[in-house]
A and B are shown apart, each in its own frame.
Chain A
Amino acid sequence: MAVQYDPALIGRVFEETEPVPVTAEQIKAFCRAIDETNPLFTDEAAASAGANGGLVAPPSFAVTFRNGRDFFKHVPRFGTRGFDAGKDVEFVAPIRPGDKIRLASHVKEIYEKTGRSGSMVFVVIRSTLSNQNDEVVAHIDHRFMSRT
């Protein structure tokens, strides 16, 4: 029998976070932490002459925004064991100092598969990051695996 779940779960936004302001200092601190030296991300003067017309965050900055407190309560569970099966990040637009970023999360997909170690159910939660102009800047797909 195929994995059973309420189809209404798919696509319904279950959580939206408050906007989080982004500063140039945060971006530079992130760059220092990951040893990013590209002046497009670290030097306002050099960045203003670059393709983005000003300082922007490196793409991986997108993963620094936290989901809401109740995020995990909304992840559908199948079976009793499982683990975080990874994340896919799609970068859509640059994040800039002064942006206010919020996350909206929904269940994107639930599917079952079989492998060497048995049957598994995967739940994919998509968090969409948007700025104060309602422009999407990134999608983060969190993949959770459960043993059935």
Chain B
Amino acid sequence: MATTLDLHCHSEASEDSRAPVEAYLNWIKLRRHERPLDGIVLTEHRQFNRAADYRALEDKFGIVVLKASEVETDYGHVLVFGVNDDILRRFDFSNVRLNAQELIDGVAEMGGVAVPCHPGRPNVGLCEHYEKKPPLENVLAVELLNGGSRKGENERTELLVTRHGYRTTGGSDSHLVSLIGLCATRFEADIRTIEDLVRELKGGRYEAVDFRPRRKAIPRAVHVEAR
């Protein structure tokens, strides 16, 4: 059974979000016809929200809620899936200058996956860093579709993906309830746990999917001849 997950969103546990997790799930339930999500992955900024337990909310809404992190490195921001005690002991997630190569390799050694996010974004995305520094090794996937991207940023990521052959994910990068699920990742496999997710990100089949509403074309002005 295929699974569609928003792999990048922030709850009120992140300092710059005001979105309660329950409100996200309620919104997904109401908007499933537009954004058919099976679950979300909370990627709180510079931390792993170890204490949070969303099992009751998962049961209430029938939506998977998994936990991950968004950390900051010398190559921009990176999503870390499969965070465990070993990873937290080795890397200080509050450090905004983590070594990206060490993070990617270390997380992989310790059972997780690190996915650079919004690569096309200035200053905090891979593309800009690749212009000045050698490309990172052992990158499995990058976030091709980011719901918070500005014009041209996702397009810049497309060029990066073409050049380096990375797999692609999608996530809304939502900090507000109504933005959840605008971009997501569709997996061919059934995903219910973070272990499932890590396994599929490493070797499974998945693609970024875009649920952003298409802008309506602006009608062209019609010139009417004066009689």
Contacts and interface: CB of A to CB of B under 8 A. Distances in A.
Interface of A: 1-2, 111-119, 122
Nearest to A141: B15
A23 B77 CA distance: 51
Given A2-B94, A111-B94, A116 B123 contact: yes
B15 A111 contact: yes
A119 B74 CA distance: 12
Contacts, number: 30
Contact of A117 (B15, B72, B94, B123): B123
Contacts of A122: 15
Interface of B: 15, 45-46, 72, 77, 92, 94-97, 121-124
A119 B15 CA distance: 16
B124 A115 contact: yes
B138 to A, nearest CB: 23
A104 B215 CA distance: 50
B45 A115 contact: no
A115 B123 contact: yes
A111 B96 CA distance: 10
A116 B72 contact: no
7 contacts: A1-B97, A2-B96, A111-B46, A112-B96, A113-B45, A113-B72, A114-B124
Given A111-B46, A122-B15, A116 B121 contact: yes
Q: What's the dominant secondary structure at chain A's contact region?
A: strand
Q: Rank and list the top 4 A-B pairs by shortest CB-CB distance, nearest first.
A: A116-B122, A112-B96, A114-B72, A114-B96
A3 B200 CA distance: 37
Given A111-B15, A116-B124, 15 more contacts: A1-B97, A2-B92, A2-B94, A2-B97, A111-B94, A113-B45, A113-B72, A113-B96, A114-B72, A114-B77, A115-B124, A116-B123, A117-B122, A117-B123, A119-B96
Contacts of A1: 97
A114 B45 CA distance: 11
A118 B123 CA distance: 6
Nearest to A113: B96
A112 B45 CA distance: 11
Nearest to B124: A114
Contacts of B97: 1-2
